[in-house]
Structure 1
Amino acid sequence: MKLLALETAAEACSVALSIDGEIHLRYEVRPRGHSELVLAMMDELLSEAGLVPPQLDAIAFGRGPGSFTGVRIATGVVQGVAFAADLPVVPVSTLAALAQRACRENGFKRLLPAFDARMGEVYWAAYHLGAAGLVELEGREAAAKAEDVNLPDGDGWYGVGTGWAAYGGLLAERMGAGLEEQMPDLYCSAEDVALLGVAGFEAGNSVAPELALPIYLRDRVANKKAG
């Protein structure tokens, strides 16, 4: 199984190549210049592996939410490569990828990934670690004001992502004792897009290149926590 994964939705730009479960990664935190950087990273990884795109089984990408420009960059590159090489595409939620990274690197099992969506909002979701070692969504992903996000019940939750850097005080106050820790400086990585992408491909969740579309969430609203 050979899968290439791209992630450009936020401050970090990264590309990962998964070959039979072994992942090779290029990762750099750079607020701008993702369009040039992601192509260079992709070329380096494929060249080092002695591969060309038609030899891949699939390509995955962080489909959002995130920066409008960043999400469009990954979408455009993936569509171009997939069309040219006749490859299926696996869209991966960037919130899921962020939660997966927190699980993989820190062993967290209940995650509240959030990105700063500007305009006083966050992109938000709740994930837990599933039996297969991959994160699973609880409820749905949404964009909302920090004071309006639909917070989960229970304890042992970890807040990760730039949404916590922008609104961590308010979110932590609302979560109370249910929140264990915040990691506001954690970014998505293509390594986790690759992990989720391989699982998605094996589950039959790949799409044709023209259906590999970005997700922005701006038209979806979360409700306040009941009680």
Structure 2
Amino acid sequence: MKIIAIDTSTENCSVALLNEDSITFKSEVAPQKHAEIVLEMLDTILKESSLSKDELDGLVLGIGPGSFTGVRIAASTVQGLALGLNLKVAKITSLEALAIEALSKGSSSYVVSSIDARMGEVYLAVYKVEGSALTLLSEEKVLKPENAVAQLKQFVGDSENVVCAGSGVELLKKAGMKDYPKQADFPQAQYLLNKGAELLSLGKGVNPEEALPLYVRNEVTWKKVSEQ
């Protein structure tokens, strides 16, 4: 299977290719430049792998949550490719991408994924590890750090076998979260590939028009607060 994954939900812009058993990826922390570089990254990866877009079997979208502009860039890029190439899209949250990376670096019972949502809030997801699988314990939320810490305590209890990932971790630690090992900073597209391939193989890809971002926070609220 040959698939491309894209995630631009944070300051980091990443594109990755699964070419049968080989993975190639590009990643760059480039705030406010994602729209300029994401297609260049894609073209470079395909060229280095001697592939054309027409040879792709599917696409994977990191749907967020994260920067409103960032998640839209990835979604519009993937939608355009999917429409032009008549491909299905696997959707995976950027919080799960963080959890997958964290778990790839060592075993744990729980993974706490958190992205800085600005305005004094964080996006939060807590996963229980069962074998090599991740089970989301509650839907993704945007919370004040102190509320996020209280919620994750309900899930992990006194367990010390916890790892964390994402740009919201420092805010959680300041709010009283234990100093769990941090295993990743930003969502990376290469960690979307294997699950994306599985979803596509199972027929769980969606049509281009359904490849939409996950905002979690209401966009209208964001604009009103940011304009104050």
Give the corresponding residue for 1:66.
66
Contact between 1:157 and 1:180, CA under 8 Å: does it hold in 2? no
Deviation at 1:145, TM superposition (A): 1.4
Residue 153 (str. 1) matches residue 180 (str. 2): no
Stretch deviating more after TM superposition (204-213 or 103-112): 103-112
TM-score (norm 1): 0.87
How far apart, in 2, do the equivalents of 1:181 and 1:118 lie?
A: 22
Q: CA deviation at 1:136?
A: 2.8
1:196: which partner in 2? Answer: 195
**Change in 2 beyond 3 A, CA 1:203/1:168:** farther
Over aligned residues, Cα RMSD in angstroms? Answer: 1.8
CA distance in 1: counterparts of 2:71 and 2:49, whole angstroms = 26
1:76 aligns with 2:81: no
Mapped partners of 1:12, 1:55: distance in 2: 27
Any gaps of 5 or more consecutive residues in structure 2?
219-228
* Native 8 Å contact 1:91 1:206 kept in 2: yes
Could you tell me whether the CA contact under 8 Å between 1:102 and 1:108 is conserved in 2? no
TM-score, normalised with respect to structure 2: 0.86
Q: Which amino acid aligns with 1:98?
A: L
SS of 2:156's equivalent in the other structure is coil
Matched AA of 1:198 = A
Once the 2 structures are TM-superposed, how far is the Cα of residue 182 of structure 1 from its aligned partner? 4.0
Q: 1:115 to 1:83 in 2, by over 3 A?
A: same
Give the letter aligned to residue 136 of structure 1.
T
SS at match of 1:194: helix
Paired residues of 2:98 and 2:184 also in contact (CA < 8 A): no
Pairwise CA distance, 1:128: 2.9
Matched, 1:216 2:215: yes
| Contact 2:145/2:171, CA 8 A, preserved across alignment | no
Question: Per-residue CA shift, 1:152-183, capped at 9, x if unaligned?
Answer: 133122222111123322141xxxxxx46242
Q: State the secondary structure of the residue aligned to 1:210.
A: helix
What residue is the counterpart of 2:224 in the other structure?
none
Structure 2 CA distance for partners of 1:23 and 1:113, relative to 1, 3 Å: same
CA distance in 2, matches of 1:50, 1:202: 23
**Structure 1 gap ranges (5+):** 173-178, 220-227
Deviates more, 1:194-203 or 1:116-125: 194-203
Corresponding letter in the other structure for 1:51: L
Contact 1:65/1:95 (<8 A) preserved:
yes
Change (3 A) 1:171 1:209: farther
The percent of aligned pairs where both chains have the same amino acid is 36
Tell me the CA shift for residue 134 of structure 1: 4.2
Task: Label 1:122 to 1:130 Cα distance change in 2 as closer, same or farther (>3 A).
Answer: same
Match of 1:143 in 2: 142
Q: Would you say 1:206 and 2:211 are equivalent positions?
A: no
Aligned positions, number = 212
